[in-house]
Structure 1
């Protein structure tokens, strides 16, 4: 059956294409600049493509920093933050969605109010707490303050609200405990939204600069954003190397998103329908 192109479809396609080009321009510019000799980055008039492509900027960044160690640190931190956030958020969302207890609405409102609190407000007390616990320059010191995610609790709670209770009743008839219902009924049915939430959490943890910068002083414990920022600071305003750092730092996220793009889109769509 031949599809009919109506004005709304054409307008949507054109608008999406324009937004895609706008999103790609900075990325293409970063890649192009990273492949230029340093003398060419400040040349006038500005050129989109390098006249003499070179990988010197990438070699300089790799030589000046322990990129592999920072990559491992970012991977460990991001995975731990994602797993713990999903674990805590699923349990909290299920409790708010399925349990009736005094003060449930008030407590849920307090959790959601956390969305309105700027993270910068909590930097000093969190750092003092991590120092008193001896968690400075450790993975747990970087991970634990990032686990609290009221947005994730809100999204999952709304999704759970849209799941029929008949599935739980059937599981209870078969003798399933509440714990078994969560992990054998609710989680499998929520897989798309969990994947989407997990990817967003992973990206946020990978890109987080402020907290890892504050809580780490040992170069061997730095994450990718912190380590690359230190490398950039060591050579000043060298645009090719700055862009090479940005490309190296963002490349893993592009790969992760490309691998899970369908699940993310499906999860976001399901969240909108259920919510």
Structure 2
């Protein structure tokens, strides 16, 4: 038995939460994963996992063995890194998830630039306004804008996401410019179904959507006033297509995070992509706000 592979199988099963997902992550059959687990348990003379048709859980012996197994894999990766770092080239396919508006406004260009630097890396970009399940949907990296992160996920903050209250000049010319938050009672307010609606509660919502890009288009068309992120509307504010109103209004500052399942056993391509995004979007001020 290849004990190092068996150790990797055990750790991956624990991290993925099932033999099937671990098999997918390791590019093995489920039967092979099961055989490696059985061989490792035989070698350690201990049962490591409670297995049922619906879930798995660690035994006391498995809980004790898990930390040591992770240390063993980290040591093996360190040896491999020292021996082969000079000639390694990132390769493989990465599955990335992000919201439609951030993907279109900022992330797509960043991914194209990364691929130009690393042509052997393929990228599949999944677009969704919802928070994706990384393990179930086999996502390597999610870029998520939020202030509430699940404690089970590993994250790296990439940037801060500021928002502004804005409207098209034509709308303001026709309906006037609000000077105080209470003035929003007299205006058409557009709200994100899950984010910004509560912050414009002073106004009657005339239009809402769960897609930030749709709200952006509606505001440009003169439908009303909305809270929109500066990563999306920065060019519109600079060109005059949109005008900021109520600049003193207290709006939530959100974090832009890279989300992934584990720091261990990361493909080189994934580590480099996370570093690339942190370098591109990081700094005291996000690039779209400079």
TM range, smaller chain: under 0.3
Scaled by the length of structure 1, the TM-score of the pair is 0.24
Larger strand percent = 2
TM-score (normalizing by structure 2): 0.24
Identify which of structures 1 and 2 has the higher relative contact order when contacts are C-alpha pairs closer than 8 Å and 6+ apart: 1
Structure with the higher fraction of residues in helix conformation: 1
